[in-house]
Amino acid sequence: MSTSTPDSTTPAAGQNHADSVTTSPVAAPTSELAQTVVEVPDCPTPPTSSNDNPLYLQPVLLAAFLALLGTLAALWMNNRFHRERLKFEEKLADKKYAHDISLEERKFSHTVGRAKWQRQSEFAEEQLAAFYEARARLASIRSPASYSSENNDRAGRDQETEAVRNARDRYYPVLRRFSQASEFFNAFYAARHRAVALFGEGADRPFIAIWQALNRVQVSASMLMREDMHGEHPNVAQNRQRMEERIWEGAADPDPIAAEIEGAIEGAEALFRPVIISPPEPTGND
């Protein structure tokens, strides 16, 4: 059996292939290496971006600038509109407030005026009716007709002479009627103070006129009850006639007492009737 000698070129067992390659490089032929030319392909030139060119940036910048201007203009217009709206709303609120105040003042004034008119009208109606009643009562007091029963309660009548008794029986009924109507006339005359309070100065004049006419009649009747008024002296007869014209309605033409009473009635009508028939006009939106 023949033993082969290991070739020096053959790698030993356990020796890796790399060691074999390293220890035994294969040299390329020089001529072939020299002739080999490595051709490197040309790299393509990258395309130029439009962002790197100022000519391409001008429209974009212009659009952005215009958008910025539009935004600023919109903000300015919005701010101005907001300010104008605030001013308008403030003026509108002031006008509404002034209108509400004016309306409330008119309503209050009308309420106060109507309450005052109601008090005046109620008083005027009552007092105008009282004036008409006073005229009727004075006409009854001054009536020349009398009843014999009206002298039954006259004190001292039985102790008088027949002439004096007959004379006094003619005048005493006037005084008796005054006494019976005294409560009405006292209340009537007292109302003059309230008339002045509601209608002002001078509203008491019709009341005073009635009261003065009443006093003239009463004083004249009292004077005629005196004994010295029944003599036949010319002065006495003249005074007696003048007083009889006062106490008796229609004894004189014209009748001075009736004229005073009618004047007082006309004054009361002028004072009270307009208030009764004319309520205050409403104001505002009442």
Listed residue (211, 200, 191) closest to 126, CA to CA: 191
Question: Is-contact 207 269, C-beta < 8 A?
Answer: no
Q: Residue 218 CB: number of other CB atoms within 10 A? A: 20
Instruction: Check whether 48 has a pLDDT greater than 90.
Output: no
pLDDT tens, residue by residue, 71-125:
888 888 888 888 888 888 888 888 877 777 776 666 656 566 667 778 888 999 9
Instruction: Check whether 263 has a pLDDT greater than 90.
Output: yes
Q: Which residue has the higher pLDDT, 267 or 94?
A: 267
| Mean pLDDT for the chain overall | 78
Say what the pLDDT of residue 46 is: 52
Q: Residue 180 CB: number of other CB atoms within 10 A? A: 13
Cα separation, 85 vs 29, in Å, equals 98
Helical H segments across the chain, by residue range:
17-23, 30-35, 54-141, 162-190, 192-199, 205-224, 234-247, 256-277
Amino acid letter for position 158: D
pLDDT tens, residue by residue, 165-177:
888 888 899 999 9
Instruction: Check whether 285 has a pLDDT greater than 90.
Output: no
pLDDT tens, residue by residue, 202-245:
999 999 999 999 999 999 999 998 877 776 777 888 888 888 99
Phi-psi category of 200—alpha, beta or left, where left has phi over 0 and alpha has psi -120 to 50? left
Specify the pTM: 0.60
Listed residue (286, 227, 242) closest to 102, CA to CA: 286
Question: Is-contact 174 231, C-beta < 8 A?
Answer: no
Cα separation, 129 vs 199, in Å, equals 17
State the DSSP code for 14: T
Structure tokens at 120: 């005046």
Say what the pLDDT of residue 7 is: 46
